[in-house]
Structures are given as C-alpha cells and as structure tokens.
Amino acid sequence: MFDRAAAAIGLDPGLAAVMKHCRAVYQVRFPVRIRGQIQVFVGWRAVHSEHRLPTKGGIRYAPVVDQDEVEALAALMSYKCAVVDVPFGGSKGGLCLDPAQYTADELEAITRAFTRELARRQFISPSVNVPAPDVGTGPREMAWMADEYRRLFPSDINAMACVTGKPATQSGIRGRVEATGRGVQYGLREFFRHPEDVARAGLTGTLAGKRVVVQGMGNVGYHAAKFLSEEDGARVVCVIERNGAVFASDGINIEKLAEYRRETGGLKGFPGARFDPDGAAALEADCDILVPAALENQITAENAPRVRARLVAEAANGPVTFEADEILRSRGVVVVPDFYLNAGGVTVSYFEWIKNLSHIRFGRMERRIHELRADRTVAAIEAAVGQPLQPEMVAGLRAGADELDVIRSGLDDTMRRAYQEVREVWHACGRTPDLRTAAYVVAIRKIARSYQEMGV
C-alpha cells in the first residue's frame, strides 16, 4: 500500500527506503514470579519514524503478538499521526500473553516489570516515546506504567506524560476512553457531508437509517456502534463477536446488548435478535456500512468478493488485507482507511499529553469568562427586546465549555480537516483512485517534507 502511494507521487527511492522500515525494535525477555513460579515474558517496542518526537503508539497484551505485527502497527502509527496532523512519530509495543489468564495483581506485577525494561532503553519517556492503551490494555495498565515510571524518575516534573490513556483521576483526560469510537463517528459524519463521495459508494443521504454491521464489541466497536445509532440515527442490524453474531433488521440497542454480554458472557439468546454462531460469515451480511472494529486481517482475498457492504469503515488497525483491498476497490466498494478513521485515540492522546505538560486542565481558566460574556449578551438582548429571555435559553448561552466539550470540539475539527485534505487528493489526482492511497499520499508527503527540512 505504501509502495503504491509512493509511486503515485514519484517519491525519491532513498527517502522511501528511510520511511518504509522501522528505525529500531527492542525485544525484551524478563522474569516475574507468578503463583510461586518464575515465568519469562517476551515483549517488543518498535519505533518506526522519529521525524517527530516523541514517538507514539499503544501497547497490546495478546497471545498472538509478535515482532512483525508490532513493526507493522508502528508504521501505521506514523502515517496515522501525519494524516491528522498530530506531531508524533510512530511507535508500537506488545507483550505476548493472554490477560485473561492472570489476576489483576499479577498483571500489575508484569506491567511494572515491563515498564522498567522499557525505561532502561528510553522506550518510554514523556519526551522520547509515549505508550498508550491498545488491545488487552486500558486505563488501569496505563496508570500502573505511569506510576512505575514516576518511581524510577521522581524528579521528572512531566513524568505523568510518559503514557496517555490514563484514568481521568490519574492525570488522564475526559473523553479518552471513547475517543477512537468517537473519531469513527466524526469521520463517517464528515464522509456523509460530501454527496459526491457518498455517491461513489453507491449510497445517498446521511447516516440516518443506514444499515450498519459492526464487528467487535470492544472499546472501539461498542462506542462507534453506540454513537452512530443513538446520535446519528444509523441502524445497527448486526453485531459480530468471536462466539457468533446477532441480527435484528429493525436495529440493535447497543447499550442493552453490552449489558447482556456482561451478564451472560456472550451474545447468544439476546432478546429480539437472531443468533448465528458463524460470526465470520456475518461480514458478508447485506448492509450499507461494514465497520470492522476487531483485529487485523478480517477481510481477506477469500471473503472480499462476497462482502455486500458499499462502504467499509476500518475502525480496527489493518482489518483488510492488501489482496482484499484490491478486490474491494475493483468492485467499487469504498474503504475509509484505518489510519484516518481510527485516529481519534491518538488525537485525544495528544490532547492528554499537552495537558500533562501544561499541568492544567482544559477550560479551567476561561470558562467563567465565557459565562460573564454570556451574561452581558443576555442583558443586552433583554434590554433591546424589553422582556426577559426564557430560562432554558439563558442557561444555554451561559454554559461554558468544560474539558470534555473542548476535547470533543478538537477531535471533531481534527477529523473534519483531515478528511477534507485526503478527499482533495482523492478527487484531484487520477493516480489515487481510492481513499486509502490518497491518505497514504497525504501522510507520505508530510513525513517526507519533515525529513527533507531536517536535512535527512
């Protein structure tokens, strides 16, 4: 995919070689005593590009993590940050384990040991390399990592900026948990603001009423499905999980489905929906929008010819293989690429990092000023019309932006601007016949310009 975009813009071969491969990969093996036995864990941290510092990327805990995956995801992070104009280089980390097999205390010991190993080689640092949550990790693990880093470097005033995705009560930021899913929503909203692009996908109108299939009810899939259905009027007709899929032509209540899954451990038997144990086959269900929000390589050369969605919205990293991408493109299926659409997480991580470095929450200094200005505006309007305004109207005018409002505004603006830049390339250049190639062109140009300006 990189090669196709590089060829489209005639990128210098030497510069392409610099940009294409990871700069460094750190593999670590470390022991932790678990239930009286010493276990050795294997982990990686890859740095793809240092054209911007710090480098940024999540850490995943999964039994299938390996070096190739970590390197590929690190590269994706470089392109993702460039597309949405977040000034980070790309990095990624992974630990080969199944979190379900360990208690919280055991995971804490493993996470703290991993943090110490990363810190020894500066693969975690507020100024050099900043991890975040990924598959198998979350705010809890980030809090452990931040605390361990602070113990190692107690004089570093910016120590809490060594990771993002922390709990809001531990120097995190409101809106980070749902940020990737919210970014998917904002990205699709922007796509549907452009009728010409919607028509290319063989669709019309807005998100309202569109039939959506969502694969994955993890953090990203859950929030994307919830926001699209509750706020944009989309109809989630199918949700796919590892143990099967549920279908409901009238739409699925995502909140109720999530509660049912928490209580029962699965989707089977959810009231008002049909269950099919073959979840993979549900990727081929008739729908308008398919949102793969699980793991990599879910749409392949084998099933791509049977995908019936007109629009594939990549909420996960790498859910469509290169061969499948070629097939979908040849069939006229529009794919909104992952390193644009799921950039909400790294965007809000950037906001959290800024907050940690500035040591003040967003909105704290200006909110009351906004209220004072609103009071003066209300007073002027009431004096002009000779009667008081309705209380609810006054309340709406006086409401100043809090941290969550600021974060959502910044994320929405980021997703809008990034899509507009990508679509401009998509429509302007005949050598970029799809959104993915256009997004790569945007990212490659920005990274190449950075290297050239630095004299590399």
* Catalytic positions: 92
Q: Are strands 334-336 and 24-34 parallel, antiparallel or unpaired?
A: unpaired
Question: 296: number of CA atoms within 13 Å, CB side?
Answer: 16
CB atoms within 10 A of CB 10: 8
Which of 349, 353, 313 has the alpha carbon at shortest distance from 227? 313
Question: 259: number of CA atoms within 13 Å, CB side?
Answer: 6
- 23: Cβ–Cβ under 8 A, 6 or more apart, which residues? 47, 48, 49, 50
- 122: Cβ–Cβ under 8 A, 6 or more apart, which residues? 128, 129
Which neighbouring-strand residues pair with 95? 43, 61
User: What phi, psi does 33 have (nearest 5°)?
Assistant: -80, 115
Which of 355, 362, 303, 310 has the alpha carbon at shortest distance from 332? 310
Which of 293, 316, 290 has the alpha carbon at shortest distance from 303? 290
User: What phi, psi does 314 have (nearest 5°)?
Assistant: -75, 95
User: What does the DSSP 8-state code read for residue 125?
Assistant: B
Q: Are the beta carbons of 84 and 347 closer than 8 angstroms?
A: yes
User: What does the DSSP 8-state code read for residue 100?
Assistant: G
Q: Give the DSSP per-residue string, 169-190.
A: GGT--TTSTTHHHHHHHHHHHH
Please report which helix (H) or strand (E) contains residue 259, including its range. Answer: helix 254-264
Q: Give the DSSP per-residue string, 388-399.
A: PPPHHHHHHHH-
User: Helices (DSSP H) in 366-454: which residue ranges?
Assistant: 367-385, 391-398, 403-428, 435-453
The type of residue at 365 is M
CA 381 to chain centroid, in Å, comes to 43
Q: Are the beta carbons of 114 and 95 closer than 8 angstroms?
A: yes
How far from 389 is each of 20, 231, 371, CA to CA, in Å?
60, 29, 16
